[in-house]
Every structure is written in C-alpha cells, then in structure tokens.
Chain A
Amino acid sequence: MSLLVAENLGKRYLSAGRRVEALCDVSLSLAAGETLGLAGASGSGKSTLARVLTRLTPADGGRVQFAGEDWLALSGSALRKRRGRMQMVFQDIAGAFNPRATVASALDDPLRIHAVVPKAERAREIAALLDRVGVPAAYAGRPIASLSGGQRQRVAIARAIATRPALIVLDEAVSALDVSVRERILELLVALQQERDIAYLFVSHDLSVLRALSHRIAIMEAGRIVEAGPAAQVIADPRSPAARALVRAVPHLSPQKEPIDGR
C-alpha cells in the first residue's frame, strides 16, 4: 500500500510570453518509510514538483492520493488540518524562518496549530524535539537568526517532525551546509526515518547526497521524469543522458574511490 501516489501531474506557466511546461505527465509513488531521491539540473522541474505535492503551488492537472485521500481536492480547513501529515524542509536556511522567530516560537507553532500535545506540555515537547535533533535545550529562547546554519537546519527538521508527519519533502535541504555539518544532518535524517517510519521525498541536484539515503532515485529533465529505479541501479547504470550527466558531474576525491561502473 503506497503512502503517496501521484499520477499525470502537469504544471504550465508563462515566462516572457512563452509557455513553459514546468511539469509534464509526472507520476510517482512513495511507500511509508521510504526515501525517493529526486535529481535534476536547474529548471528541470524538481522544485515545482515539490511545491505542487506540498500544495504550495496548484497543479494544472493530475491526481495525488496521499494517506488514502484525494490530496489535491482538499481545501480550506480540511487541508490545513491534514497538512501536519506532510511537512517540508527548505533549502534557504536563512529564509525558512520568520526573522522575528525564536527557537521556541518556531517549534510552538506546529504544536499549537495541530494540538499535538496539551498546552501545558508544549514546553516539555519543545525540549524533547530539540534534544532529538541535537540542539541544546538552552537554545529555546534564542532568536533563530543567532544560530549557525547547521543548527538552524536542525530546528527546521524539528519543526517538520513536530506534527508527526508521514512524509517530509526535503528541498535541497543540505545543499547550503558545510560538508562536515551536512554529514551529521544526513545521519540525523536517516535515524529519524528508522525511528518514526517517515517517508522522504529528497530533492537535490547532487547525486552523491541522494545516494546517501535514497532507496529509489528518479531523474527529472524538462518537467518529465526520464528515469527511475533503485538508487544503486540508477547510479551504476544510468540510461538517460540526463542521468549520465548527473553521475559524471559528481567530483571524486581520489582515484581509489572511483570504481563504480565495475560493480
């Protein structure tokens, strides 16, 4: 039983008088607890797909079945109520929080909106969330703006798991981080998935990051999914020109680490 099934999604918009097919006949499915890596170059439509699935941008056509419901048909308070089941982590670490937010207020929002725990227990829940993502509980009162990039992204992940979602869309969630920090965040995401059975849709232009935690990988080009399959297979034996270009583009540190084709 799939958690999410998207069928024939389409999205067009006008750019400089020309009609651009941002999404064209896109279908995909995601099981509970599974990670689907979505790779593609700039402008391939992967971010548009993320925004359509999270209901930030309306689709022009197609269907999405999510947690047994017609996800695109929901609206108003019915949609808001179910949004807790699908969360998102953004690439722009500085821009993903209200400039006025503190760590505690950012985490209080999801708990309050979805009444995850009784009001009296919210402070304890915030402390538990911070502890889980590895941010000292003493940081609760600090402005988000005073945190480092890695800590902010940890708070963003805490905000995303606060509503106990079944799916988190990660839009280039580690691309802006230093490598040493990035590795710790990836490990955190894997641990959370195993512990809570969360599915991830992980959008990135970097196949090496997707390889770290994707079960399957889909490759997008010009608004279409041109290739999809188990992660190891797509990387070892890319069929489409877009996938081959993405594989070739990953820089390798030393020749000893290179033999991927042979496996």
Chain B
Amino acid sequence: MTLVRTILGKPEGAIGLGILAILATLALLAPVLFPGDPLRIAGPALKAPFSDAAFPLGTDRLGRDVLAGIVHGARTSLFVGLAAALAALAIGLSVGLTAGFAGGLADEALMRVVDAFQIVPGFLLALAFVSVIGASVPVVVLAIALGAWADPARLTRAEVLSVRERDYVSAARVLGMHPVEIAFREILPNVLPPVLALSAIIVAAAILTEAALSFLGLGDPNVVTWGSMIAEGRNVLRSSPFLSIFPGLALVVTVVGVYLLGEGLTNALAGNDDPPCRPASPRRRRDMGDPSIRRGGEGSPLCTIENFSVTHRGQDGPALNKLDLTIRKGGRLAIIGESGSGKSTLARALAGLLPDGARAEGRISWAGGAAPLAGRDLGFVLQDPSASLNPVLTIGEQVAEGARQHLGLSWPDARSRALDMLVRVQLPEPEKLLKAYPHQLSGGQRQRVAIAAALAARPGLLIADEPTSALDMVVQAEIVTLLDELVREAGMTLIFVTHDIALAAGFADHVAIFREGRLVETGPAAAVLTAPREAYTRMLVASHRDLATPPLIGGIVP
C-alpha cells in the first residue's frame, strides 16, 4: 500500500512502526514465550535483574517473573489502547458526521453533548465509570472510550463543514449526484485523514489512561498490566526500583512508538505541501546600514546577479537556472513570467526570503557590499495581503512597527509616521484605520496597508511579488497607479513581479522575461515588448488580450 510506503519513507514513521511491530509480535507470542499464568509464583522473591538466566529481569516480592509480566502486560496495554481508541473513534465519527451533515437542531443538540464531554476531564470520567460498574477489561475499554470520543467528534464535524463548501462538492451537486453518494464519495474520504491522524494521539492517551487506572487498582485484577506492576513495585521502590522501572520503560517506549507512527501518518496524509517561507539566513547586519541603496548615481548597478541558481527542497530541477542579471539603481524593473518561471523565487532570493531548504548557488552582489535588510533597506509586498498582515494586530501597529524598529522612532512618532503612510497610500479615514484590524478591510485596502507597512521605514528598494493578482481589475489598476506614484516620489528602485505583460508595460522601464527558471530576454520595456527578439516573448505578446483585440466570435446575438 502506498500509505505504508510513505510512512516508512520518513524516519519517525519507520521507527514508530518498527517499535510497535516488535511489541505486537511479543504480545502475540506471549503464551508461547512465557507459557502459564504470569501471575503465578515462579521462583525466589526479589531476584535482582541480569543475575539469573531464568529470570533476565528478576522477580518481584512474590517471586513472579518480571519479564513474563511485561510481555503479557503488553497484551493488555495494546489491546485496551487499540480497542478503546477504536470505540472512541467509532462514537466520535458517527456523532461528528451526523452533526455535520444534519446541521440545524440535531447539530446544535449533539454539539452541546460534545461540549459536556469535553469539559469533564476524560480520566475523571473513566475513573468514576470504573469505580461504579466494577473493573473488567470491557468496562475499562468503554470507560476510556467515553472520556475520549468528544475530540474526534468535534474534529469530524468541523472537517465535514469545511469540505462541504469545496468546489468539488459544488461540482458534484451541479452534476446531479445523489446526496448520499456525495456524502460517501466526495466528502467522507476527504474528512477521514485528519481524524485518522488524531487517532494516534487517542491510542497513546488510552494506553496511558489504562495504565493509570490499573496503577490506582481499578484495572481488571485477573490480568497482569504495566500499571499494576508499577504499583506493585512502588512498595519496594527504594530497595528494588527495577520492579517499577522496567514496566515504566515499556510504557514509555510504547507511547513514544505510537506518537512516532502518528507523526509519520500525519506527514504521509498531509502530502508535500510547500515549505513555509522563512528567512533563509537569520544573519542580521544591523550595524551595516546600506546607504548606497539610496545614494549613488541613477542607473548605476544596485545589484549584480551572476550565474545564480536556486533549487527548492525536494525538487529535481532548479527553480532558477544560471541567472545573470543587473538591477539598476532608481529603475523600475518588471520580472515577467508564467507559472513555474522562477520569477517569485528570484524576488524572494533578492529579499533574503528563500524558504528553508532552498539551495542557492552563484553570486548576488550588492552595490553597498552588504545585502539589504528586509524591512529597513527593502520593502516586500506579497500577492495575498490577508496572508502578509497579522490578523491580531491593528493596522496602526503593523505600519508603525517598521518605522519604530528601523528608523529608531518612539511609539508616538512611529504612530504619526504610520498615519502619514496611510494618507500617502490614499486610504479613507486614516485616523480611524490606525485602530482597525485587517479583517475589517477589503482586499484592495489591505494591499494598500501592506504597501504602507513595506514603505514605512523608507527603504530604497521595493519588491512587489504579484501584488495585484488576488485583486479584481479595477482595484488592480488603482494599486498599480499608487505604486507608480510612490516609487517616483521617493526615487526608489522597484522590482515588480507579474505574469501580466501589459501591466508591466504600463510602468516598468526595464523588463526581464523568464521561462522555466531561465532568463529568456531582458532590455528596455518598449524595445522588448514592441520588437521581441525571442520566440517565447513574441508568443507572450501575441497571447495578450485587451479591449482592442478582435473577439473570437463573429456577429451579434445568434
């Protein structure tokens, strides 16, 4: 099965699976390896471990074999853990699916029950249940399940509600698929993975709860368990600590194994999502301010890129391949490319924001010597303004932050700088906005705030990575005009990453066309776009569509 192979592909999954496989084999073979009742007296009492080949781990106060106890105890621990977790998952899935699909009153009622079970600690519930009904293995299993089903129930319901809104479920409805088939084919299989990942935690918790119950003497007295062995050893803890240590170790190894397997399962089910973006090098060169980014002659090189390649973790080919490019001071450079061209990788590399695990080769040399510091020397505007703004900080705090940190302003001064920036990006009612939160703004307004925050510390270089692709055309036109004005006013260098050749033509003086990690063509915007030398650039220009392009249909209404 591919899932097992994926789990085994990661060390945590392989180790976890290995540990559990050994434990399960020992538990299954216990009657063969150690025939007879493990609770019977087998030899002299309190034999030290490693002293007698007949009792490798010694014997307890009554002369029972410790190793036999541990191996037989694994049967109880693993069985109770698995059975309780399965029962909890069965109850949780049924309740969560019912609540998620039924909605309305049934959902309300079921979720209040879930609330009640989540408020009462699971262990207390199990404890009370076993004390009242009496200890036997099935009762312990049920007691643990009762304390553990609420979490998977809540998770299942939340997943159902989210998957129901996906486009592929809408597509199935539009196709006329029967609601029952939608539930079982479109929704359920996509709800299960996160719930299965949670199940490892439930198994581990169930094993620990079982051990705790039997430690307190609430387990089945007729079977040997690790919890009862630890409790038994407690009476002679000073003279013979091994009586508690060995079953304790067995418990720790088992739980660690379950967690590792769960970790492997989670990773396997999550797939290979892009790694989160973090600065590749945390080197902060605070001391080396880079005034040269602002000063110096217009048109002199700000940054020279030589033979520069980047390979992302887990990818075969490079995202950027042997790039040579010069960025001129005070220029407005558009980096143009389709998906997979490497244009965003270049923007991130210039800003020192390559994701973890990305391998860079070649040279990027800056006019001032040191690389510009993001936030102070260079501002970065991302495609998705809702992802780049912190949802719990006010607009004022986020815009003021850069000015405070990099211009050394006091909070009141930084606040007035923030106010000034909000006015500059033409946001209405800037005074009120300082205290607003990102979610109260539209997408276009959020992007204006992101631009204000990027420019608050007066950087000499602004990198905008598809800053308008998540916005509609009308807002896009406004944001582009704004960026153009701000950059002209401050004499900044602008690097504008876009897939839209016409958008770039509108205000860039230089363009660089990228395709599949390679630079295809670069030069003055007018020259490249009116008389492209390369076939790919010609194709891009030919594919461009605006209002003057002849329509694909002829005639009027049929």
Contact = CB atoms under 8 A, between A and B. Distances in A.
A206 B551 contact: no
A248 B473 CA distance: 9
A92 B167 contact: yes
Contacts of B499: 178-179
Given A179-B540, A251-B500, A88 B174 contact: yes
A183 B540 CA distance: 10
A98 to B, nearest CB: 5
B174 A253 contact: no
Nearest to B166: A95
Given A211-B547, A259-B548, A260-B548, A97 B171 contact: yes
A151 to B, nearest CB: 13
Interface centre among B499, B543, B549, B552 (most CB of A within 10 A): B552
Contact of B503 (A96, A251, A258): A251
Nearest to B506: A251
A183 B476 CA distance: 21
Interface in B515-534: 529-530
A96 B168 contact: yes
Interface residues of A, number: 75
Nearest to B178: A80
B32 interface: no
Nearest to B541: A253
Given A207-B473, A209-B545, A113 B186 contact: no
A91 B16 CA distance: 41
Given A81-B176, A149-B339, A180-B338, A253 B171 contact: no
Interface in A61-90: 79-84, 86-88, 90
Contact of A253 (B166, B177, B501, B552): B501
Contacts of A211: 545, 547, 549, 551
Contacts of A209: 545
Contacts of B551: 211-214, 231
B429 to A, nearest CB: 18
A230 B556 contact: yes
B547 A56 contact: no
A88 B186 CA distance: 17
Contacts of A32: 558
B364 interface: no
Interface string B168-202: 10111111111000000110011000000000000
Q: Which of B174, B502, B545, B555 has the most CB of A within 10 A?
A: B174
Q: Which of B339, B503, B545 has the largest number of chain A CB atoms within 10 A?
A: B545
A14 B341 CA distance: 42
B474 interface: yes
Given A31-B558, A254-B529, A260-B548, A109 B172 contact: yes
A128 B464 CA distance: 44
A209 B339 CA distance: 19
B475 interface: yes
A252 B474 CA distance: 14
Contacts of A248: 477
B40 interface: no
A247 B172 CA distance: 35
Interface string A91-116: 01001111111000000011001100
A186 B170 contact: no
B185 A98 contact: yes
B367 interface: no
Given A179-B501, A253-B544, A83 B176 contact: yes
A101 B476 CA distance: 35
A250 B171 contact: no
A222 interface: no
Given A96-B167, A258-B548, A246 B175 contact: no
A12 B551 CA distance: 36
A26 interface: no
Interface string A191-222: 00100000000000111110111111000000
A209 to B, nearest CB: 7
Contacts of B501: 179, 253
Given A178-B338, A190-B552, A251-B546, A206 B173 contact: no
Interface stretch (A17-25, A33-41, A118-126, A131-139): A33-41
B352 interface: no
B22 interface: no
A67 to B, nearest CB: 14
A28 to B, nearest CB: 13
Contacts of A207: 473, 547
Given A99-B190, A180-B338, A230-B557, A54 B543 contact: no
A167 to B, nearest CB: 11
B120 interface: no
Given A84-B176, A252-B502, A100 B549 contact: no
Given A180-B338, A180-B540, A207-B473, A250 B174 contact: no
B190 A249 contact: no
B168 A41 contact: no
Given A178-B499, A179-B543, A211-B547, A90 B171 contact: yes
Given A42-B471, A90-B171, A182-B543, A251 B548 contact: no
B540 A88 contact: no
B358 interface: no
B60 to A, nearest CB: 53
Contact of A98 (B168, B540, B553, B555): B168
B472 interface: yes
B235 interface: no
A31 B480 CA distance: 38
Contacts of A206: 473
B19 interface: no
A114 B549 CA distance: 39
Given A88-B170, A180-B539, 9 more contacts: A55-B173, A88-B174, A97-B168, A179-B544, A212-B552, A213-B553, A251-B477, A252-B502, A252-B505
25 contacts: A35-B553, A41-B475, A42-B475, A80-B176, A80-B177, A83-B174, A90-B171, A95-B166, A98-B172, A98-B186, A98-B190, A100-B189, A109-B177, A190-B552, A207-B473, A212-B551, A213-B552, A214-B553, A230-B557, A246-B474, A248-B477, A251-B502, A253-B501, A253-B546, A259-B548
The 9 closest A-B pairs by CB, nearest first: A83-B176, A178-B338, A80-B176, A251-B502, A205-B472, A249-B473, A249-B477, A95-B167, A253-B502
Interface of B: 166-168, 170-178, 185-186, 189-190, 338-339, 442-443, 471-477, 480, 499-503, 505-506, 529-530, 539-541, 543-549, 551-553, 555-558
